[in-house]
Chains A and B, each alone.
Chain A
Amino acid sequence: MITTSRRARLGWNIATYAVLLTLTVFCIFPLLWTLLTSLKYEADIVTQTMQYIPKRITFENYVTIWTQSGFPTLVFNSFVVTATTVVLCLITGTLAAYSFSRFHYPGRGALMLGYLVIRMFPAVLMIIPLFILMRGVGLLDSRFGLALAYTSFLLPLFVWMLKGFFDAAPKELESAARIDGCTRIGAMIRIVLPLARNGLVATSVFVAIAAWNEFLFALMLTTSQGSRTWPVGLQLMVGEFQLPWGVLAAGGIISIIPVMILFAIVQRTMVHGITAGAVKG
């Protein structure tokens, strides 16, 4: 009896490792192949026989994408848009998340649901009117306008995720501060925000990654090099200049480096924040 159950357990363990290994390869292989491609000479990419391990390595593709296209400008624009989006979410979203987390009042449930339902609105339904409206107020093709558009779908996410982190911060210290004569806003800024700082960072990173990666709004709402972000720029380069694979791969690798770094740093807290809402509700 014991030997069969031990053997069964060994079998399941082997199966577990097999599943995880397969899925990891499935997830990582495209990334790895792109990295290898970015390090190959174009002649070694377009060959009769596939080179799995590059025979020689070059950084030429990286130099090309960085110096011979507007890529630095694109990356800089993306950086500005991302930072603006995060700041907008931080200022407005933190207050809302705090209100939902710490107070109970008539209409709270309905308002929270409202913030959630907004996520269901199709991007295309908003993109078209946003295009017309932003053109009307001169925000079309501007980095600030794009960041404003991003808050439309990122702010609700931000509020919900941050509310979870606020809920987890103990209320006792806040009460103590209030008794000591601290105003409500004082208690929030000096007690709750420092307590929930990991959550604030993780939520901001989540929003930052989403804004950095966003493609559709940027394609519609930017029309010139002055505000175009890297996903749109890269996509248009592919269409216009028949970008060589190696250069395209290098551009891809450069643009996901910030994502990978941020993901690596706050991965654990961020994962916790994303799942908390869905698992509870």
Chain B
Amino acid sequence: MAERMSALSGPSPSLWRRLDPAAALGRLSETRYWMYLLLVPSAILILAVVLYPTVYGFQLSFRQMRLNRPDLGTGFVGFKHYVAMWNDKVFWLSLRNTAVWVTFAVVIEFGLGLLAALALNRNLPGTKIMGVLILLPYFLPNVVAGHMWALLLDPRLGVINDILVRLGFLETYKAWFADPSTALGAAILVEAWHGFPFFALLLLAGLKGVPDDLYKAASVDGAGPIRQLRLITLPMLRSVIAAAVILRVIGLVNSPDLLLILTGGGPGQSTQVLSLYAFQKAYKDFNFGYAGALSVVMFVLLMVFAWAYVRVSKVNQD
């Protein structure tokens, strides 16, 4: 630290001043608008790669755009895509599947995450390394996560099938992802594996902020661990839980990666969700207009949900 301070008062400031661009930048940093200037590079980037494309996307949803046609078919078609969506069975099915997918995944991930956070927060000897290992899945790529589980659940050589048969839960190996009645459930299991560490991470950090005195007082009053959880821990964690749930719901609604890798929306349309449907409309059919309309609807629904959720959790807090 002493070195750093002497470097400041030493010859280097004058040296800096002699280098023209640096000196100019230094002078610029003394102006009133410096704090705004600092934002300019990132704002330009965000305008170019987020806001402009988003506006373009909204506008796209009112146009006929098919990249596989020579004329691109870029005419204005009004609400045609939205009307088509209203009559599109797959749209309604994927809306329903999205709701099921997000609800179950969030509930399971929250449950497992809370369990992990509570257990880790007791700081028993030897559990630190487990804490690190439990976080690992969250940082693994979807592509690898998807194929790992596809191998584990494979109908011919899946080790989970083998274990379940040996334990007597299953008669024969099951094709989890090929059966419409189990495909979505199996995908939710994989998603839970991938996503629950996120909840564990945030809830554990939240738990560290709960004062110990509260628990001591409660146990003096004779409250057992279950009542302490219900009356102290969960209320104290409310804002963390709200933040975690919102972030997770946004992530789950927006990213079709895992389903794209595991099932591609099949069998039939049994694991089709909105984001995947929109992506496939663009990627496979090159029907950019319709895909744009689908993602606009998804975006609006997500905004409404986030707004309502924040309202509700605020109201509860007061």
Q: Please report A residues at the B interface, Cβ cutoff 8 Å.
A: 12-13, 16-17, 19-21, 23-24, 26-28, 30-31, 33-34, 37, 45-47, 50, 52, 88, 91-93, 95-96, 98-99, 102-103, 105, 108, 111, 115, 118-133, 148-149, 151-152, 155-156, 159, 176-177, 180-186, 188, 190-191, 194, 209, 212-213, 215-216, 219-220, 231, 234-235, 238, 245, 248-249, 252, 255-256, 259-260, 263, 267, 271, 274-276, 278-279, 281
Contact = CB atoms under 8 A, between A and B. Distances in A.
A185 B35 CA distance: 11
Contacts of A52: 159
A122 B253 contact: yes
B133 A27 contact: yes
B158 to A, nearest CB: 9
Q: Which of A26, A93, A212 has the most CB of B within 10 A?
A: A26
A181 B43 CA distance: 30
A12 B296 CA distance: 49
Contacts of B56: 129, 132-133
B38 A99 contact: yes
Given A33-B159, A129-B292, A263-B136, 16 more contacts: A16-B127, A20-B116, A20-B119, A23-B134, A27-B193, A88-B45, A115-B42, A125-B57, A132-B56, A159-B42, A182-B13, A183-B29, A184-B30, A231-B141, A248-B147, A275-B204
A259 B142 CA distance: 13
B130 A21 contact: yes
27 contacts: A17-B127, A30-B149, A33-B151, A34-B144, A50-B157, A93-B42, A99-B35, A108-B35, A121-B50, A124-B295, A124-B298, A126-B53, A128-B291, A128-B292, A130-B53, A132-B56, A148-B45, A184-B29, A184-B30, A185-B28, A235-B143, A256-B141, A274-B201, A275-B201, A275-B202, A279-B240, A281-B239
B205 A122 contact: no
Nearest to B25: A185
B107 interface: no
B2 to A, nearest CB: 12
Q: Which of A46, A88, A123, A180 has the most CB of B within 10 A?
A: A123
Given A213-B140, A256-B144, A259-B140, A33 B298 contact: no
Q: Which of A34, A124, A181, A245 has the most CB of B within 10 A?
A: A124
A263 B204 CA distance: 18
Contacts of B133: 24, 27-28
A16 B122 contact: yes
B89 to A, nearest CB: 20
Contacts of B278: 122, 124-125
B232 interface: no
A92 B45 contact: yes
Interface of B: 4-5, 7-9, 13, 16, 25-30, 34-36, 38-39, 41-46, 48-50, 52-54, 56-57, 60, 65, 67, 112, 115-116, 119-120, 122, 124, 127, 130, 132-137, 139-145, 147-149, 151-152, 156-157, 159, 162, 193, 197, 201-202, 204-206, 209, 225, 239-240, 243-244, 247, 250, 253-257, 260-261, 275, 278-279, 282-283, 288, 291-292, 294-296, 298-299, 302-303, 306
Nearest to A149: B49
A123 B200 CA distance: 25
